[in-house]
Structure 1
Amino acid sequence: MTGILTSAEDFERARAWHLTDAPDFDAYLLDTAVLLADALRVFGSVQARMFHPEDFADFCLLHGLDPAESASRDRYLVNPPLQTQLLPYQGEELGGDFVPRLVRAREDGLTLCHADLLLDGALCGTVGAEGAEPDPGVRVLYERASELFRRMLVGAGCGAYELRCAVEGPGGRLEAQARILHWEDGVVRINDEELDLVRAVLCAGLYRELPGAALLHGIQGSAASCGEYRPVAWGWRSTGWDWTPSALHLDEVEAAPGFSLGSVC
Protein backbone atom coordinates (compact mmCIF):
# COMPACT_ATOMS: atom_id res chain seq x y z
CA MET A 1 0.00 0.00 0.00
CA THR A 2 1.31 3.44 -0.95
CA GLY A 3 0.27 6.92 0.16
CA ILE A 4 0.64 9.58 -2.52
CA LEU A 5 0.78 13.35 -2.10
CA THR A 6 -1.55 14.78 -4.73
CA SER A 7 -0.62 18.45 -5.05
CA ALA A 8 2.35 20.79 -4.87
CA GLU A 9 0.78 22.43 -1.80
CA ASP A 10 0.55 19.11 0.03
CA PHE A 11 4.13 18.31 -1.00
CA GLU A 12 5.38 21.55 0.58
CA ARG A 13 3.40 20.96 3.77
CA ALA A 14 4.89 17.47 4.11
CA ARG A 15 8.52 18.55 3.65
CA ALA A 16 9.07 18.79 7.41
CA TRP A 17 8.25 15.08 7.76
CA HIS A 18 10.93 14.01 5.26
CA LEU A 19 8.59 11.78 3.27
CA THR A 20 10.78 12.09 0.18
CA ASP A 21 14.12 13.43 -1.00
CA ALA A 22 12.61 14.84 -4.21
CA PRO A 23 13.36 18.55 -4.76
CA ASP A 24 9.86 19.41 -6.02
CA PHE A 25 6.43 17.92 -6.65
CA ASP A 26 7.06 16.99 -10.30
CA ALA A 27 10.19 15.08 -9.34
CA TYR A 28 8.26 13.46 -6.49
CA LEU A 29 5.63 12.15 -8.92
CA LEU A 30 8.34 10.72 -11.18
CA ASP A 31 10.04 8.98 -8.24
CA THR A 32 6.70 7.65 -7.00
CA ALA A 33 5.82 6.30 -10.44
CA VAL A 34 9.07 4.32 -10.49
CA LEU A 35 8.40 2.91 -7.02
CA LEU A 36 4.86 1.91 -7.98
CA ALA A 37 6.03 0.26 -11.21
CA ASP A 38 8.65 -1.74 -9.28
CA ALA A 39 6.10 -2.79 -6.66
CA LEU A 40 3.59 -3.81 -9.32
CA ARG A 41 6.20 -5.92 -11.07
CA VAL A 42 7.28 -7.63 -7.84
CA PHE A 43 3.96 -8.08 -6.03
CA GLY A 44 1.47 -8.07 -8.91
CA SER A 45 -1.02 -6.02 -6.90
CA VAL A 46 -0.58 -2.50 -5.56
CA GLN A 47 -3.04 -0.25 -3.76
CA ALA A 48 -2.70 3.47 -3.26
CA ARG A 49 -4.50 6.22 -1.41
CA MET A 50 -4.14 9.95 -1.06
CA PHE A 51 -1.70 11.04 1.63
CA HIS A 52 -3.57 13.99 3.11
CA PRO A 53 -1.35 16.15 5.36
CA GLU A 54 -4.20 17.40 7.57
CA ASP A 55 -5.59 13.90 8.02
CA PHE A 56 -2.13 12.61 8.87
CA ALA A 57 -1.42 15.39 11.37
CA ASP A 58 -4.78 14.79 13.07
CA PHE A 59 -4.14 11.03 13.16
CA CYS A 60 -0.75 11.53 14.82
CA LEU A 61 -2.20 13.97 17.35
CA LEU A 62 -5.03 11.58 18.21
CA HIS A 63 -2.69 8.62 18.73
CA GLY A 64 0.27 10.49 20.21
CA LEU A 65 2.58 9.71 17.29
CA ASP A 66 5.59 11.54 15.89
CA PRO A 67 4.74 12.45 12.26
CA ALA A 68 8.43 12.32 11.31
CA GLU A 69 8.62 8.61 12.18
CA SER A 70 8.07 6.15 9.33
CA ALA A 71 6.10 3.87 11.67
CA SER A 72 3.58 6.67 12.15
CA ARG A 73 3.07 6.90 8.39
CA ASP A 74 2.61 3.14 8.17
CA ARG A 75 -0.06 3.18 10.89
CA TYR A 76 -1.84 6.03 9.15
CA LEU A 77 -1.89 4.25 5.80
CA VAL A 78 -3.28 0.97 7.17
CA ASN A 79 -5.86 2.61 9.43
CA PRO A 80 -8.97 0.42 8.87
CA PRO A 81 -11.54 3.26 8.66
CA LEU A 82 -9.58 4.67 5.73
CA GLN A 83 -9.60 1.50 3.61
CA THR A 84 -12.56 2.86 1.66
CA GLN A 85 -10.11 5.39 0.16
CA LEU A 86 -7.94 2.75 -1.52
CA LEU A 87 -7.57 2.46 -5.29
CA PRO A 88 -5.81 -0.33 -7.20
CA TYR A 89 -2.82 0.90 -9.18
CA GLN A 90 -2.50 -0.75 -12.59
CA GLY A 91 0.28 1.21 -14.23
CA GLU A 92 -1.58 4.46 -14.92
CA GLU A 93 0.25 7.72 -15.48
CA LEU A 94 0.20 9.59 -12.17
CA GLY A 95 0.01 12.93 -13.93
CA GLY A 96 -3.13 11.83 -15.80
CA ASP A 97 -6.43 10.81 -14.23
CA PHE A 98 -5.01 8.68 -11.39
CA VAL A 99 -4.07 11.50 -9.01
CA PRO A 100 -7.49 13.22 -9.34
CA ARG A 101 -9.09 9.82 -8.73
CA LEU A 102 -7.10 9.53 -5.49
CA VAL A 103 -8.49 12.89 -4.37
CA ARG A 104 -12.03 11.79 -5.22
CA ALA A 105 -11.45 8.46 -3.47
CA ARG A 106 -10.64 10.30 -0.24
CA GLU A 107 -13.75 12.45 -0.52
CA ASP A 108 -15.86 9.44 -1.46
CA GLY A 109 -14.37 7.42 1.40
CA LEU A 110 -15.47 10.06 3.88
CA THR A 111 -18.95 9.95 2.38
CA LEU A 112 -19.00 6.14 2.67
CA CYS A 113 -18.06 6.43 6.35
CA HIS A 114 -20.90 8.94 6.82
CA ALA A 115 -23.33 6.60 5.06
CA ASP A 116 -22.14 3.69 7.20
CA LEU A 117 -22.92 5.68 10.34
CA LEU A 118 -26.44 6.36 9.07
CA LEU A 119 -26.81 2.64 8.29
CA ASP A 120 -25.73 1.69 11.83
CA GLY A 121 -22.56 0.01 10.61
CA ALA A 122 -24.31 -2.35 8.19
CA LEU A 123 -22.58 -1.00 5.09
CA CYS A 124 -19.06 -1.98 6.20
CA GLY A 125 -20.15 -4.85 8.42
CA THR A 126 -19.17 -3.12 11.65
CA VAL A 127 -20.98 -3.47 14.96
CA GLY A 128 -23.78 -0.99 15.49
CA ALA A 129 -24.55 1.23 18.47
CA GLU A 130 -24.22 -0.32 21.94
CA GLY A 131 -22.83 -3.54 20.46
CA ALA A 132 -25.94 -4.32 18.39
CA GLU A 133 -25.48 -6.26 15.18
CA PRO A 134 -26.10 -4.34 11.93
CA ASP A 135 -29.70 -4.36 10.72
CA PRO A 136 -30.03 -7.19 8.13
CA GLY A 137 -32.79 -5.16 6.46
CA VAL A 138 -30.13 -2.81 5.11
CA ARG A 139 -29.16 -5.44 2.53
CA VAL A 140 -32.72 -5.36 1.15
CA LEU A 141 -32.60 -1.57 0.89
CA TYR A 142 -29.15 -1.73 -0.72
CA GLU A 143 -30.64 -3.94 -3.43
CA ARG A 144 -33.52 -1.47 -3.82
CA ALA A 145 -30.99 1.36 -4.22
CA SER A 146 -29.21 -0.69 -6.91
CA GLU A 147 -32.52 -1.23 -8.66
CA LEU A 148 -33.32 2.49 -8.63
CA PHE A 149 -29.98 3.20 -10.27
CA ARG A 150 -30.52 0.43 -12.83
CA ARG A 151 -33.92 1.81 -13.81
CA MET A 152 -32.45 5.26 -14.36
CA LEU A 153 -29.90 3.80 -16.76
CA VAL A 154 -32.33 1.50 -18.57
CA GLY A 155 -34.80 4.33 -19.05
CA ALA A 156 -32.09 6.63 -20.36
CA GLY A 157 -30.94 4.19 -23.01
CA CYS A 158 -27.49 4.12 -24.58
CA GLY A 159 -25.23 7.14 -24.29
CA ALA A 160 -22.58 8.83 -22.17
CA TYR A 161 -23.91 10.21 -18.90
CA GLU A 162 -23.07 11.56 -15.49
CA LEU A 163 -25.26 10.81 -12.50
CA ARG A 164 -25.27 13.13 -9.51
CA CYS A 165 -27.28 12.34 -6.40
CA ALA A 166 -27.56 13.79 -2.91
CA VAL A 167 -29.52 13.10 0.27
CA GLU A 168 -29.89 15.47 3.19
CA GLY A 169 -28.68 13.57 6.22
CA PRO A 170 -27.88 14.31 9.85
CA GLY A 171 -24.38 15.73 9.93
CA GLY A 172 -24.62 17.17 6.43
CA ARG A 173 -25.43 16.31 2.84
CA LEU A 174 -24.21 13.04 1.34
CA GLU A 175 -23.28 13.36 -2.33
CA ALA A 176 -22.19 10.96 -5.05
CA GLN A 177 -21.50 11.16 -8.73
CA ALA A 178 -20.63 8.65 -11.40
CA ARG A 179 -19.60 8.77 -15.04
CA ILE A 180 -21.33 6.14 -17.15
CA LEU A 181 -20.97 4.71 -20.65
CA HIS A 182 -24.09 2.78 -21.64
CA TRP A 183 -23.58 0.87 -24.89
CA GLU A 184 -26.37 -0.10 -27.27
CA ASP A 185 -25.90 -3.79 -26.37
CA GLY A 186 -26.75 -3.00 -22.73
CA VAL A 187 -23.19 -3.13 -21.39
CA VAL A 188 -22.51 -0.42 -18.80
CA ARG A 189 -19.05 0.91 -17.99
CA ILE A 190 -18.61 2.63 -14.63
CA ASN A 191 -15.81 2.80 -12.05
CA ASP A 192 -16.49 0.37 -9.21
CA GLU A 193 -15.81 2.96 -6.53
CA GLU A 194 -18.31 5.38 -8.09
CA LEU A 195 -20.97 2.67 -8.33
CA ASP A 196 -20.45 1.70 -4.68
CA LEU A 197 -20.81 5.29 -3.54
CA VAL A 198 -24.01 5.94 -5.52
CA ARG A 199 -25.64 2.83 -4.07
CA ALA A 200 -24.49 3.68 -0.54
CA VAL A 201 -25.90 7.22 -0.68
CA LEU A 202 -29.22 6.05 -2.14
CA CYS A 203 -29.41 3.26 0.46
CA ALA A 204 -28.77 5.64 3.36
CA GLY A 205 -31.56 7.88 2.05
CA LEU A 206 -33.98 4.96 1.92
CA TYR A 207 -32.98 3.61 5.34
CA ARG A 208 -33.33 6.94 7.13
CA GLU A 209 -36.12 8.21 4.85
CA LEU A 210 -34.14 11.31 3.97
CA PRO A 211 -35.09 13.83 1.28
CA GLY A 212 -32.92 13.62 -1.78
CA ALA A 213 -32.38 14.51 -5.41
CA ALA A 214 -30.83 12.76 -8.41
CA LEU A 215 -29.86 14.12 -11.79
CA LEU A 216 -28.79 12.16 -14.88
CA HIS A 217 -27.39 14.19 -17.75
CA GLY A 218 -25.21 13.74 -20.80
CA ILE A 219 -25.47 12.71 -24.44
CA GLN A 220 -28.05 10.14 -25.48
CA GLY A 221 -27.52 8.05 -28.60
CA SER A 222 -25.01 5.79 -30.34
CA ALA A 223 -23.46 5.02 -33.70
CA ALA A 224 -26.05 2.26 -34.12
CA SER A 225 -28.78 4.92 -34.13
CA CYS A 226 -27.27 6.48 -37.27
CA GLY A 227 -25.15 8.86 -35.26
CA GLU A 228 -28.10 10.65 -33.71
CA TYR A 229 -26.97 12.24 -30.45
CA ARG A 230 -28.81 14.70 -28.25
CA PRO A 231 -28.11 16.35 -24.90
CA VAL A 232 -30.44 15.25 -22.11
CA ALA A 233 -30.90 16.03 -18.42
CA TRP A 234 -33.47 14.32 -16.21
CA GLY A 235 -34.25 14.93 -12.55
CA TRP A 236 -35.93 13.06 -9.69
CA ARG A 237 -36.68 13.93 -6.08
CA SER A 238 -37.46 11.84 -3.03
CA THR A 239 -39.17 12.74 0.21
CA GLY A 240 -37.57 9.71 1.82
CA TRP A 241 -38.83 6.67 -0.04
CA ASP A 242 -40.40 7.08 -3.48
CA TRP A 243 -38.37 8.75 -6.21
CA THR A 244 -40.55 10.82 -8.54
CA PRO A 245 -39.78 12.92 -11.65
CA SER A 246 -38.98 16.53 -10.83
CA ALA A 247 -37.38 19.53 -12.48
CA LEU A 248 -34.32 20.51 -10.47
CA HIS A 249 -31.05 22.40 -10.42
CA LEU A 250 -28.09 20.50 -8.98
CA ASP A 251 -24.43 21.48 -9.17
CA GLU A 252 -25.08 24.08 -11.88
CA VAL A 253 -26.98 21.61 -14.09
CA GLU A 254 -30.64 22.19 -14.98
CA ALA A 255 -32.80 19.11 -15.48
CA ALA A 256 -36.33 18.52 -16.73
CA PRO A 257 -38.56 16.06 -14.88
CA GLY A 258 -37.28 12.55 -15.55
CA PHE A 259 -39.27 9.52 -16.67
CA SER A 260 -41.26 7.45 -14.19
CA LEU A 261 -38.94 4.87 -12.68
CA GLY A 262 -41.92 2.64 -11.97
CA SER A 263 -42.57 2.34 -15.70
CA VAL A 264 -39.08 0.94 -16.42
CA CYS A 265 -38.68 -2.83 -16.41
Structure 2
Amino acid sequence: MPRNSRTPRPSRCTAHPAAARPRSEEAFVTGILTSSEDFDRARGWHLTDAADWDSYLLDTAVLLAEARRTYGTVQARMFHPDDFADFCLLHRLDPAEPAARDRYLVNPPLQTQLLPYQAEELSGDFIPRLVRARDNGLTLRHIDLLLDGGPAGADEELAQAVRRAHQQGAEVFRRMLVGAGCGAYRFVCAVEAPGGRLEAEARILHWEDGVVRINDEDLDLVCAVLCAGLYRELPGAALLHGSQGSAAACGEYRQVAWAWQSEGQGYVPAAVRLDDVAAEPGFSLGTVC
Protein backbone atom coordinates (compact mmCIF):
# COMPACT_ATOMS: atom_id res chain seq x y z
CA MET A 1 0.00 0.00 0.00
CA PRO A 2 2.82 2.48 -0.64
CA ARG A 3 2.16 5.80 -2.23
CA ASN A 4 5.27 5.89 -4.40
CA SER A 5 5.79 3.28 -7.12
CA ARG A 6 9.53 3.18 -6.42
CA THR A 7 9.14 2.26 -2.77
CA PRO A 8 10.50 -1.15 -1.69
CA ARG A 9 8.02 -4.01 -1.62
CA PRO A 10 7.45 -5.96 1.60
CA SER A 11 10.00 -8.75 1.82
CA ARG A 12 11.47 -11.11 4.36
CA CYS A 13 14.82 -10.88 2.55
CA THR A 14 17.63 -8.79 3.95
CA ALA A 15 17.41 -5.23 2.66
CA HIS A 16 20.21 -3.76 0.59
CA PRO A 17 22.68 -1.67 2.64
CA ALA A 18 21.82 2.02 2.89
CA ALA A 19 25.11 2.96 1.23
CA ALA A 20 24.10 1.04 -1.88
CA ARG A 21 21.43 3.60 -2.85
CA PRO A 22 21.17 7.40 -2.48
CA ARG A 23 18.72 8.73 0.09
CA SER A 24 15.74 10.39 -1.59
CA GLU A 25 14.19 13.63 -0.34
CA GLU A 26 10.76 12.36 -1.42
CA ALA A 27 8.19 11.29 1.14
CA PHE A 28 7.13 7.66 1.50
CA VAL A 29 3.49 7.17 2.52
CA THR A 30 1.86 3.83 3.29
CA GLY A 31 -1.26 2.44 4.96
CA ILE A 32 -1.08 -0.16 7.71
CA LEU A 33 -3.78 -2.60 8.77
CA THR A 34 -4.04 -2.43 12.54
CA SER A 35 -5.67 -5.71 13.61
CA SER A 36 -5.95 -9.33 12.58
CA GLU A 37 -9.67 -8.77 11.93
CA ASP A 38 -8.93 -5.96 9.48
CA PHE A 39 -6.24 -8.14 7.86
CA ASP A 40 -8.77 -10.93 7.28
CA ARG A 41 -11.33 -8.49 5.84
CA ALA A 42 -8.79 -6.98 3.44
CA ARG A 43 -7.32 -10.21 2.07
CA GLY A 44 -9.75 -10.27 -0.82
CA TRP A 45 -8.31 -6.97 -2.08
CA HIS A 46 -4.80 -8.48 -2.37
CA LEU A 47 -3.22 -5.73 -0.30
CA THR A 48 -0.43 -8.04 0.81
CA ASP A 49 1.07 -11.43 -0.01
CA ALA A 50 1.43 -12.31 3.68
CA ALA A 51 -0.11 -15.61 4.72
CA ASP A 52 -1.29 -14.45 8.15
CA TRP A 53 -1.35 -11.47 10.52
CA ASP A 54 2.03 -12.17 12.12
CA SER A 55 3.67 -12.46 8.70
CA TYR A 56 2.00 -9.21 7.65
CA LEU A 57 3.49 -7.38 10.64
CA LEU A 58 6.94 -8.76 9.84
CA ASP A 59 6.66 -7.79 6.17
CA THR A 60 5.45 -4.31 7.09
CA ALA A 61 8.32 -3.80 9.53
CA VAL A 62 10.81 -4.73 6.78
CA LEU A 63 9.07 -2.38 4.34
CA LEU A 64 9.27 0.52 6.77
CA ALA A 65 12.90 -0.17 7.67
CA GLU A 66 13.88 -0.14 3.98
CA ALA A 67 11.84 3.01 3.41
CA ARG A 68 13.66 4.81 6.23
CA ARG A 69 16.97 4.00 4.57
CA THR A 70 15.74 5.22 1.18
CA TYR A 71 13.45 8.20 1.80
CA GLY A 72 13.83 11.44 3.70
CA THR A 73 10.36 11.17 5.26
CA VAL A 74 8.37 8.04 6.11
CA GLN A 75 4.71 8.41 7.06
CA ALA A 76 1.88 5.97 7.69
CA ARG A 77 -1.80 6.01 8.46
CA MET A 78 -4.33 3.41 9.47
CA PHE A 79 -5.70 1.47 6.51
CA HIS A 80 -9.32 1.13 7.62
CA PRO A 81 -11.35 -1.40 5.56
CA ASP A 82 -14.65 0.44 6.02
CA ASP A 83 -13.13 3.78 5.03
CA PHE A 84 -11.46 2.23 2.00
CA ALA A 85 -14.62 0.46 0.84
CA ASP A 86 -16.64 3.68 1.18
CA PHE A 87 -13.96 5.65 -0.68
CA CYS A 88 -13.95 3.17 -3.58
CA LEU A 89 -17.75 3.18 -3.76
CA LEU A 90 -17.86 6.98 -3.78
CA HIS A 91 -15.25 7.28 -6.53
CA ARG A 92 -16.30 4.15 -8.46
CA LEU A 93 -12.95 2.44 -8.00
CA ASP A 94 -12.03 -1.24 -7.95
CA PRO A 95 -10.62 -1.86 -4.45
CA ALA A 96 -8.34 -4.60 -5.80
CA GLU A 97 -6.53 -2.10 -8.06
CA PRO A 98 -3.32 -0.52 -6.70
CA ALA A 99 -4.42 2.85 -8.08
CA ALA A 100 -7.44 2.79 -5.75
CA ARG A 101 -5.18 2.27 -2.74
CA ASP A 102 -2.87 5.09 -3.83
CA ARG A 103 -5.79 7.53 -4.20
CA TYR A 104 -7.17 6.50 -0.82
CA LEU A 105 -3.84 7.10 0.91
CA VAL A 106 -3.27 10.57 -0.52
CA ASN A 107 -6.90 11.72 -0.16
CA PRO A 108 -6.50 15.30 1.19
CA PRO A 109 -9.23 15.11 3.89
CA LEU A 110 -7.31 12.20 5.45
CA GLN A 111 -3.91 13.91 5.71
CA THR A 112 -4.49 14.69 9.39
CA GLN A 113 -4.28 10.93 10.03
CA LEU A 114 -0.66 10.64 8.81
CA LEU A 115 2.03 9.94 11.41
CA PRO A 116 5.81 10.02 10.95
CA TYR A 117 7.41 6.60 11.44
CA GLN A 118 10.64 6.70 13.45
CA ALA A 119 11.51 3.02 13.89
CA GLU A 120 8.95 2.34 16.64
CA GLU A 121 7.79 -1.20 17.34
CA LEU A 122 4.65 -1.72 15.24
CA SER A 123 2.76 -3.77 17.81
CA GLY A 124 3.98 -1.57 20.66
CA ASP A 125 3.04 2.11 20.56
CA PHE A 126 2.83 2.81 16.82
CA ILE A 127 -0.25 0.81 15.80
CA PRO A 128 -2.35 2.15 18.71
CA ARG A 129 -1.25 5.67 17.68
CA LEU A 130 -2.42 4.97 14.12
CA VAL A 131 -5.84 3.97 15.43
CA ARG A 132 -6.04 7.11 17.58
CA ALA A 133 -4.88 9.25 14.65
CA ARG A 134 -7.85 8.04 12.58
CA ASP A 135 -10.27 8.86 15.41
CA ASN A 136 -8.54 12.21 15.91
CA GLY A 137 -8.78 12.95 12.19
CA LEU A 138 -12.54 12.37 12.17
CA THR A 139 -12.90 14.69 15.17
CA LEU A 140 -10.78 17.37 13.46
CA ARG A 141 -13.04 17.22 10.39
CA HIS A 142 -16.06 17.70 12.67
CA ILE A 143 -14.33 20.68 14.29
CA ASP A 144 -13.56 22.21 10.88
CA LEU A 145 -17.28 22.16 10.10
CA LEU A 146 -18.06 23.86 13.41
CA LEU A 147 -15.48 26.54 12.67
CA ASP A 148 -16.87 27.06 9.15
CA GLY A 149 -13.72 25.70 7.60
CA GLY A 150 -11.30 27.60 9.85
CA PRO A 151 -9.06 30.53 8.97
CA ALA A 152 -8.07 29.34 5.50
CA GLY A 153 -11.55 29.65 4.05
CA ALA A 154 -13.00 32.40 6.22
CA ASP A 155 -13.04 36.18 6.19
CA GLU A 156 -10.48 37.99 8.32
CA GLU A 157 -12.83 38.77 11.22
CA LEU A 158 -13.86 35.12 11.54
CA ALA A 159 -10.24 33.99 11.18
CA GLN A 160 -9.17 36.25 14.02
CA ALA A 161 -11.97 34.94 16.24
CA VAL A 162 -10.90 31.36 15.59
CA ARG A 163 -7.27 32.21 16.32
CA ARG A 164 -8.24 33.88 19.61
CA ALA A 165 -10.30 30.84 20.65
CA HIS A 166 -7.40 28.53 19.78
CA GLN A 167 -4.96 30.64 21.82
CA GLN A 168 -7.42 30.68 24.72
CA GLY A 169 -7.83 26.89 24.57
CA ALA A 170 -4.07 26.33 24.44
CA GLU A 171 -3.61 28.66 27.42
CA VAL A 172 -6.29 26.80 29.41
CA PHE A 173 -4.47 23.52 28.78
CA ARG A 174 -1.08 25.04 29.64
CA ARG A 175 -2.36 26.36 32.98
CA MET A 176 -3.83 22.97 33.87
CA LEU A 177 -0.46 21.29 33.28
CA VAL A 178 1.60 23.99 35.03
CA GLY A 179 -0.72 23.94 38.04
CA ALA A 180 -0.54 20.16 38.27
CA GLY A 181 3.24 20.13 38.52
CA CYS A 182 5.49 17.21 37.65
CA GLY A 183 4.03 13.75 37.30
CA ALA A 184 2.47 11.26 34.89
CA TYR A 185 -1.06 12.18 33.87
CA ARG A 186 -3.92 11.41 31.54
CA PHE A 187 -5.96 14.35 30.29
CA VAL A 188 -9.46 14.00 28.82
CA CYS A 189 -11.87 16.65 27.62
CA ALA A 190 -15.30 16.66 26.00
CA VAL A 191 -17.44 19.34 24.37
CA GLU A 192 -21.15 18.90 23.63
CA ALA A 193 -21.34 20.02 20.01
CA PRO A 194 -23.98 19.97 17.26
CA GLY A 195 -23.55 16.69 15.41
CA GLY A 196 -22.16 14.85 18.40
CA ARG A 197 -19.74 15.11 21.31
CA LEU A 198 -16.16 16.17 20.60
CA GLU A 199 -13.60 14.25 22.66
CA ALA A 200 -9.84 14.30 23.09
CA GLU A 201 -7.34 12.66 25.39
CA ALA A 202 -3.59 12.74 25.93
CA ARG A 203 -0.95 10.97 27.99
CA ILE A 204 1.43 13.43 29.57
CA LEU A 205 4.80 13.18 31.31
CA HIS A 206 5.67 16.40 33.15
CA TRP A 207 9.31 16.36 34.28
CA GLU A 208 10.81 18.18 37.27
CA ASP A 209 12.56 20.72 35.02
CA GLY A 210 9.26 21.76 33.43
CA VAL A 211 9.67 19.79 30.20
CA VAL A 212 6.38 18.22 29.08
CA ARG A 213 6.24 15.10 26.89
CA ILE A 214 3.07 14.64 24.83
CA ASN A 215 2.45 13.27 21.35
CA ASP A 216 2.05 16.11 18.86
CA GLU A 217 -1.16 14.73 17.38
CA ASP A 218 -2.76 14.46 20.84
CA LEU A 219 -1.75 18.03 21.70
CA ASP A 220 -3.24 19.31 18.42
CA LEU A 221 -6.56 17.55 19.06
CA VAL A 222 -6.85 18.70 22.68
CA CYS A 223 -6.29 22.34 21.67
CA ALA A 224 -8.73 21.99 18.74
CA VAL A 225 -11.52 20.58 20.94
CA LEU A 226 -11.02 23.30 23.56
CA CYS A 227 -10.94 25.90 20.78
CA ALA A 228 -14.21 24.68 19.23
CA GLY A 229 -15.99 24.75 22.59
CA LEU A 230 -14.84 28.27 23.40
CA TYR A 231 -15.44 29.62 19.90
CA ARG A 232 -18.97 28.22 19.65
CA GLU A 233 -19.64 28.78 23.39
CA LEU A 234 -20.51 25.13 23.94
CA PRO A 235 -20.66 23.32 27.31
CA GLY A 236 -17.70 21.15 28.08
CA ALA A 237 -15.59 19.48 30.74
CA ALA A 238 -11.93 18.63 31.26
CA LEU A 239 -10.28 16.19 33.64
CA LEU A 240 -6.64 15.60 34.60
CA HIS A 241 -5.74 12.55 36.63
CA GLY A 242 -2.71 10.45 37.41
CA SER A 243 0.34 10.32 39.65
CA GLN A 244 1.72 13.62 40.92
CA GLY A 245 5.33 13.77 42.10
CA SER A 246 8.81 12.73 41.05
CA ALA A 247 11.80 10.67 42.05
CA ALA A 248 13.61 13.93 42.84
CA ALA A 249 11.10 14.50 45.64
CA CYS A 250 12.32 11.38 47.47
CA GLY A 251 9.99 9.22 45.41
CA GLU A 252 6.87 10.75 46.91
CA TYR A 253 3.81 10.31 44.70
CA ARG A 254 0.11 10.86 45.19
CA GLN A 255 -2.87 10.01 43.07
CA VAL A 256 -4.82 13.04 41.91
CA ALA A 257 -7.94 13.70 39.85
CA TRP A 258 -8.96 17.28 39.10
CA ALA A 259 -11.75 18.58 36.89
CA TRP A 260 -13.06 21.78 35.35
CA GLN A 261 -16.31 22.66 33.62
CA SER A 262 -17.28 25.26 31.02
CA GLU A 263 -20.56 26.76 29.93
CA GLY A 264 -18.81 28.14 26.87
CA GLN A 265 -16.89 31.17 28.14
CA GLY A 266 -14.12 29.57 30.21
CA TYR A 267 -13.20 26.69 32.51
CA VAL A 268 -13.82 26.78 36.27
CA PRO A 269 -13.25 24.11 38.95
CA ALA A 270 -16.09 21.58 39.23
CA ALA A 271 -16.68 18.04 40.39
CA VAL A 272 -16.98 15.99 37.21
CA ARG A 273 -17.23 12.37 36.17
CA LEU A 274 -15.78 11.87 32.69
CA ASP A 275 -14.71 8.71 30.88
CA ASP A 276 -15.54 6.66 34.02
CA VAL A 277 -13.20 8.77 36.18
CA ALA A 278 -14.63 10.82 39.04
CA ALA A 279 -12.68 13.97 39.90
CA GLU A 280 -12.86 16.70 42.53
CA PRO A 281 -12.88 20.38 41.56
CA GLY A 282 -9.49 21.42 40.24
CA PHE A 283 -7.45 24.47 41.19
CA SER A 284 -8.42 27.91 39.90
CA LEU A 285 -6.73 28.47 36.55
CA GLY A 286 -6.57 32.19 37.28
CA THR A 287 -4.03 31.53 40.04
CA VAL A 288 -1.58 29.84 37.64
CA CYS A 289 0.97 31.98 35.82
TM beyond 0.5: yes
State the partner residue of 2:253: 229
Instruction: Tell me the TM-score normalised to structure 2 length.
Output: 0.88
1:40 pairs with one of 46, 54, 68:
68
State the partner residue of 2:44: 16
Work out whether 1:50 is the aligned partner of 2:78. Answer: yes
Residue type at the aligned position of 1:137? A
Cα distance between partner residues in 1 of 2:142 and 2:185: 26
Work out whether 1:244 is the aligned partner of 2:254. Answer: no
1:127 positional shift: 2.2
State the partner residue of 1:182: 206
State the partner residue of 1:98: 126
After TM superposition, the runs of 4+ consecutive aligned structure 1 residues lying more than 3 A away are none
Cα distance between partner residues in 1 of 2:169 and 2:235: 14
State the partner residue of 2:168: 144
Cα distance between partner residues in 1 of 2:102 and 2:152: 23
2:153 pairs with one of 120, 127, 132:
127
Cα distance between partner residues in 2 of 1:238 and 1:106: 27
Instruction: Tell me the TM-score normalised to structure 1 length.
Output: 0.96
Residue type at the aligned position of 1:230? R
Residue type at the aligned position of 2:47? L
Work out whether 1:255 is the aligned partner of 2:279. Answer: yes
What are the superposed Cα offsets for residues 143-187 of structure 1, whole Å, 9 maximum, x if unpaired? 111100000011101111010000000100000001111111111
Cα distance between partner residues in 2 of 1:69 and 1:121: 33
- For structure 1, the 5+ residue unaligned runs are none
Cα distance between partner residues in 1 of 2:279 and 2:260: 9
Task: Give 1:181-220 correspondences, 5 Å limit.
Answer: 181-220=205-244
2:135 pairs with one of 81, 95, 107:
107
SS at match of 1:23: coil
Cα distance between partner residues in 1 of 2:203 and 2:271: 21
Cα distance between partner residues in 2 of 1:223 and 1:27: 41
- For structure 2, the 5+ residue unaligned runs are 1-28
Cα distance between partner residues in 1 of 2:32 and 2:249: 43
Which of 1 and 2 has greater Rg?
A: 2
Please tell me whether the aligned partners of residues 120 and 135 of structure 1 are also in contact (alpha carbons under 8 angstroms).
Answer: no
SS at match of 1:91: coil
Cα distance between partner residues in 2 of 1:199 and 1:61: 34
RMSD: 1.1
Please tell me whether the aligned partners of residues 212 and 238 of structure 1 are also in contact (alpha carbons under 8 angstroms).
Answer: yes
The alignment covers a number of residue pairs equal to: 260
Work out whether 1:6 is the aligned partner of 2:34. Answer: yes
State the partner residue of 2:9: none
SS at match of 1:44: strand
Residue type at the aligned position of 1:23? A
SS at match of 1:255: strand
Cα distance between partner residues in 2 of 1:135 and 1:62: 32
SS at match of 1:221: strand
State the partner residue of 2:4: none
1:126 positional shift: 4.2
